[in-house]
């Protein structure tokens, strides 16, 4: 589908007034996300309130996409090699009659390779901001579809378990990629503790070590956990959520890449966490708790493990972000 947008009128959800294509600059905060939710490999994910990337976009008279990094990570500025650039290029393919390009500024607070959706935040933040600049031409599903091109640059695979919650907010189920079918899920109040050991696990590397075939008995157990987790979220059944946070397929392979993983998981559950596991492809580890007091105690246990290992790390105690990318 190709869209014209030279003289489009739109309804602005921010102002409540009709107007033309928005001028000036659009600024957003693009949140970190936790993908997989232990048992839901590539199909479940949720957004968190902290950390997030800061991004801004404006039109330029120069065709194409100009990327300016305002952080220390020295990521590629060639659009085809940058996850945000790839997402914007996919968006531009469905536009005609517009000669101006985009200038995108990115200040990343979500470290690349951290396992909390750094590439998704850049990809999703870019297309959400650009869409607002264009007068909200595209649907959220369109934006997910565009942003998945950024994930392909990062990992070699188009997946949406980080992208969807980053754009929709909350917890999302990716029922299908082709065709895209995203199901937002309700969830009870949950506190999230994340620890990021200062090592890098590349998503592409973490995917390459996974088994290509699994035993039927393991698949059946995994399906039961996924169904149980979704049911637990919808029913606000914390006990069921906790019982379902089990991964018999991916975690046993990937956890060997993360120092202290087994100890952190054990101590966190002893501290009262419902459960948790690897965030995305790692190395970050997340744990879910019913209340902030428990989440803070889990944080102390995480600190203790990595202090004994003399491994630098960052922690976050946050909760689920219900709005996704936020305009500022």
Q: Say if CB 196 and CB 114 are below 8 A apart.
A: yes
Residue in the block written with tokens 């590397």: 205
* Catalytic residue, candidates 33, 172, 193, 203: 203
Angle, vertex CA 328, rays to CA 18 and CA 296, nearest 5: 140
Q: Say if CB 277 and CB 247 are below 8 A apart.
A: yes
Residue 182 and residue 324: Cα distance in Å, rounded?
Answer: 14
Is 33 assigned a catalytic role?
A: no
Residue 166 and residue 31: Cα distance in Å, rounded?
Answer: 6
Residue in the block written with tokens 């219900």: 322
- 30 closest CA partner among 121, 106, 104: 121
* Catalytic residue, candidates 151, 251, 297, 299: 151
Residue 178 and residue 305: Cα distance in Å, rounded?
Answer: 41
Is 203 assigned a catalytic role?
A: yes
Distances (CA, A) of 141 to 132, 174, 222, 288: 15, 11, 27, 28
Helices (H), the chain: 83-92, 118-133, 140-155, 163-168, 203-208, 216-235, 238-244, 251-254, 261-270, 292-308
**Would you please indicate which residues are annotated as catalytic (active-site) residues?**
151, 203
């Amino acid at each position: 589908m190709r869209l014209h947008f030279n003289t489009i009128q739109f309804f602005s959800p921010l102002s409540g007034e009709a107007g033309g294509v928005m001028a000036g600059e659009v600024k957003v905060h693009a949140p970190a996300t936790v993908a997989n939710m232990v048992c839901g490999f590539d199909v479940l994910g949720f957004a968190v309130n902290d950390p997030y990337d800061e991004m801004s976009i404006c039109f330029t008279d120069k065709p194409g996409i100009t990327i300016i990094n305002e952080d220390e990570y020295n990521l590629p500025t060639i659009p085809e090699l940058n996850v945000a650039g790839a997402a914007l290029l996919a968006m531009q393919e469905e536009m005609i009659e517009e000669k101006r390009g985009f200038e995108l500024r990115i200040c990343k607070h979500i470290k690349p390779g951290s396992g909390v959706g750094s590439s998704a935040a850049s990809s999703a933040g870019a297309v959400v901001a650009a869409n607002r600049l264009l007068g909200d031409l595209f649907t959220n599903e369109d934006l997910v579809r565009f942003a998945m091109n950024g994930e392909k640059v990062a990992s070699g695979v188009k997946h949406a378990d980080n992208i969807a919650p980053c754009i929709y907010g909350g917890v999302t189920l990716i029922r299908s990629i082709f065709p895209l079918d995203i199901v937002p899920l309700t969830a009870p109040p949950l506190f999230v503790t994340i620890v990021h050991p200062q090592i890098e696990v590349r998503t592409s590397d973490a995917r390459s070590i996974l088994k290509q075939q699994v035993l039927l008995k393991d698949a059946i157990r995994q399906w039961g956990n996924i169904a149980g987790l979704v049911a637990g979220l919808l029913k606000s059944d914390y006990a069921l959520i906790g019982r379902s946070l089990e991964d018999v397929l991916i975690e046993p392979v990937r956890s060997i890449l993360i120092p202290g993983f087994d100890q952190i998981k054990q101590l966190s559950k002893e501290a009262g966490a419902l459960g948790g596991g690897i965030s995305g492809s790692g190395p970050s580890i997340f744990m879910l708790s019913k209340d902030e007091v428990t989440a803070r105690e889990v944080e102390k246990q995480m600190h203790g493990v990595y202090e004994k290992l003399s491994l630098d790390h960052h922690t976050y105690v946050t909760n689920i972000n219900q709005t996704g990318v936020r305009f500022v």
